[in-house]
Structure formats: C-alpha cells, structure tokens
Amino acid sequence: MKPALKPSIKVIQCYFLNFWLGLALIAVFLTSVATVSGANGSTYEDQLASAKQLYFSGEIEQAKALFEALSTQGDAEAYYYLALIARSQNKPFSEIINKLEVAANSGDSSAMFELGRIYEMGQGVDKDLLIALDWYRRAEQESFATSPPVIFFENQNGTDSELSQTDMLNRLIEDGSSDDGETQFKVAKSYDFNLHGIQSGADAIKWYTKAAENNHQYSQLLMGYFLCRGIYVAPDKKLANEWFEKSGREVACKN
C-alpha cells in the first residue's frame, strides 16, 4: 500500500489564500449591492427633484420623460405635473382631467384644486360649481391634514410666550362675537378643519351661518353647498338654493 500523501505547505498556503480571497470578493459584492440599493432609494427623490427643476427651467420634454418614468411607480405628484404639461401642450381636456384625477385620488391637494378650477370654469367639462366645491373642499382637507399647526406668540413684559391652540380659538371666538363676517368665517373654518385642536361640524355650521347672515358671500355659498350635499346638516334643497341666490353665484341644488 502506498503511503498517504501529505499536502505540501505551498498547497495549504494556496488553499487558505483562495479561501480568504473568496471571502473578500463576497464582502465586496455584498457592499456593492447595498450601495446600489441605497443609490436607487435616493435616485427616486433625485429624479423627482430633477424633473421639477427641468420643468420650471422650461426644459419641458426632458421633464416630461422623467415624470412619465416616475408615474409608472404611482407617484401622484408626477401625474400632477404631467397634467400641467399636457395643458401647456394643448392636449385634450379628457387627458388632462384623467391625469389630475389619478393624482388627486392618490392624495395630491394641488391636483384636487386644479380639478375644482376646471369644473368652476367649465374647461372641457360642463360648468358645475357643486363639483368644483367638492374638489376644493377635498383639497383643503388634505392640505390642512398634512400641514403642521400654526404657532402664535404674544409679547408680555418683553417676553414672547407661545399661545395654546385653545387660547387662539377663544380669541377668534371673542373677535367673532362682533358682526364681522370675515372673523366669523375664520372661526367656522377653525371648527370645520380642526385648525385649533377642536373639530365640530355643529359649531362650524353655527359660525358659517353667522358669517353668512352678515353678508359674507363665501359663507353664503358654503351654506348652500352644505345644505345641498347634506354635510353637517340634513339636506334641504329649498334652503340651499336660497343661500346660493344670496351668494350671487350661478349654482343650483338639483338633488
């Protein structure tokens, strides 16, 4: 029987060299994968920023290409800008509205506002102020829901102190106790959109009514809208149309 062969020192050294080289290559590969993944994560934000920069600098076609790529990933803001580009290129309003609706239904408040404007002006659709108000209201709800609360300060004895949201609301209510329709409208809006920590439909209607009775035209329009749509109150077509008539706007509740 032949004696067992023993590996030489060189073979052992070569084996360990290859082993450690393999580990090093694996480490390099994993690091590169992580780097690429991180780059891809930041590339999305970079592309959106680049697309906006191109759009505002007038490089419309380049911006459009980037926005189209982003829209395939469901980016609401990309659809909004594609709608603006389509409008600037005189595309059919059906195409513009479709893009705006995709953006709006994904939570883009700017797209909601644009849809409101389209229905208010009757651009490519039948003029319908009620549908316009639907979109305007959704835009406000989305905007206020995602905006940080406004902080107010007052100066007492040379020191600025932060006012609580309750203090701000109470001061608004105090000012609104006069017959100032604009201030009463602000109180109503605070309750309507929870601007100072309290959301109350009943209080919103109370103050919108006060403002409307003091000839605040937008409050008159909103009272007609709320009564027509049954928001915070029971639907009342007759009373809704009375408020619409007082507001001076061409709109009618037909429900």
d(CA 216, CA 184): 9
pLDDT digits (tens, 9 = 90+) for 55-92: 999 999 999 999 999 999 889 999 999 999 999 999 99
End-to-end CA distance of the chain: 105
What stretch of H or E contains 152?
Answer: strand 152-156
pLDDT of residue 9: 39
Q: Cα–Cα distance between 134 and 142 in angstroms, integer?
A: 12
pLDDT bucket at 158, cuts 50 / 70 / 90: low
Give the per-residue pLDDT at 1.
Answer: 40
Residue tagged 């780059």 (tokens): 39
Q: 148 falls in which pLDDT band (50, 70, 90)?
A: low
If we measure between CA atoms, which residue out of 159, 133, 109 comes closest to residue 231? 133
- pTM assigned to the model: 0.75
pLDDT at 4: 39
Q: What is the pLDDT of residue 135?
A: 98
Domains of the chain: 48-146 (1.25.40.10), 155-247 (1.25.40.10)
Separation of alpha carbons 51 and 151, rounded Å: 33
